[in-house]
Amino acid sequence: MATVEERFWSKVIKGPRPGDCWFWLGAISDDGYGRFTLNRDGRTRAVRPHRYAYYLATGVLLDEMPSLMHDCDEPTCVHASADSASHLVPGSHRENMLDRIKKMRHSNGSGLRYWGVGRDAQADRSRRLRDELLANGWNDERIAAIRFAHDPDAPTLF
Ligand SMILES: [Zn+2]
């Protein structure tokens, strides 16, 4: 039987380059973040996959973990490590909010699109990204098309 850790990584696809995102392919909540279910002592607990990944990378327990910021602006990314390569960095709730505002003001594109959309659109975007990765694996062009909010099946203008 697979361990919890094996079950977790079976739901993740890692980009081919060291700096790429690692996208969650499991359940996605209505806020656009992933959902991973832990079963322990006959009880189930739903956790955010990026927080579980951070626990695996650093050993910081979920109940003692500060809120985490996505440097990559991808809510379903679980690329956590204990060094500077991590896409997930600890921050207070206040820092998270300031970070969002800064990204909206200074964004040259993707951040503005992402943070500028509502909760339903965020969830829809996360699910389309996941479904694309499940259907076709990692394909830079198709992933970029979703990240930059275009339909990869739509005809191109050029
Ligand atoms: Zn990432």
What's the confidence (pLDDT) of residue 98? 73
pLDDT in tens, 17-32: 999 999 999 999 999 9
**Overall domain count for the chain:** 1
- Residue 75: closest CA among 92, 97, 51, 94: 51
Query: What predicted TM-score, i.e. pTM, was given to this entire model?
Result: 0.81
What's the confidence (pLDDT) of residue 156? 58
What's the confidence (pLDDT) of residue 93? 66
For residue 154, being part of any structural domain is answered with no
Q: How far is the CA of 86 from the centre of ligand 1 (A)?
A: 8
For residue 111, being part of any structural domain is answered with yes
What's the confidence (pLDDT) of residue 35? 97
Q: Which helix (H) or strand (E) holds 12?
A: strand 12-14
Query: CB–CB of 153/132 below 8 Å?
Result: no
What's the confidence (pLDDT) of residue 126? 95
For residue 152, being part of any structural domain is answered with no
Task: Please give the mean pLDDT across all residues of the chain.
Answer: 86
Rg (CA), the chain: 16
What's the confidence (pLDDT) of residue 39? 87
Q: In DSSP terms, which residues pair with 47 in a beta bridge? A: 36
What's the confidence (pLDDT) of residue 110? 46
For residue 99, being part of any structural domain is answered with yes
What's the confidence (pLDDT) of residue 152? 58
What is the mean pLDDT of the segment spanning 68-94?
90
Q: How far is the CA of 17 from the centre of ligand 1 (A)?
A: 12
What is the mean pLDDT of the segment spanning 44-64?
96
For residue 92, being part of any structural domain is answered with yes
For residue 155, being part of any structural domain is answered with no
Range of the domain at 101: 4-147
- pLDDT beyond 90 at 45: yes
> Which residues are close to ligand 1, an ion, with C-beta < 5 A?
21, 72, 74, 77, 79, 87
What's the confidence (pLDDT) of residue 87? 96
Q: Measured between alpha carbons, how far is 116 from 95 in angstroms, rounded to an integer?
A: 18
Chain mean position to CA 151: 20
Q: Measured between alpha carbons, how far is 17 from 24 in angstroms, rounded to an integer?
A: 17
Query: CB–CB of 78/53 below 8 Å?
Result: yes
For residue 87, being part of any structural domain is answered with yes
Q: How far is the CA of 112 from the centre of ligand 1 (A)?
A: 16
Q: Measured between alpha carbons, how far is 115 from 121 in angstroms, rounded to an integer?
A: 10
Q: How far is the CA of 79 from the centre of ligand 1 (A)?
A: 6
- pLDDT beyond 90 at 58: yes
Q: How far is the CA of 49 from the centre of ligand 1 (A)?
A: 12
Q: How far is the CA of 45 from the centre of ligand 1 (A)?
A: 24
Q: How far is the CA of 103 from the centre of ligand 1 (A)?
A: 15
pLDDT in tens, 97-148: 677 676 665 544 444 444 556 788 889 999 999 999 999 999 999 999 888 7
For residue 112, being part of any structural domain is answered with yes
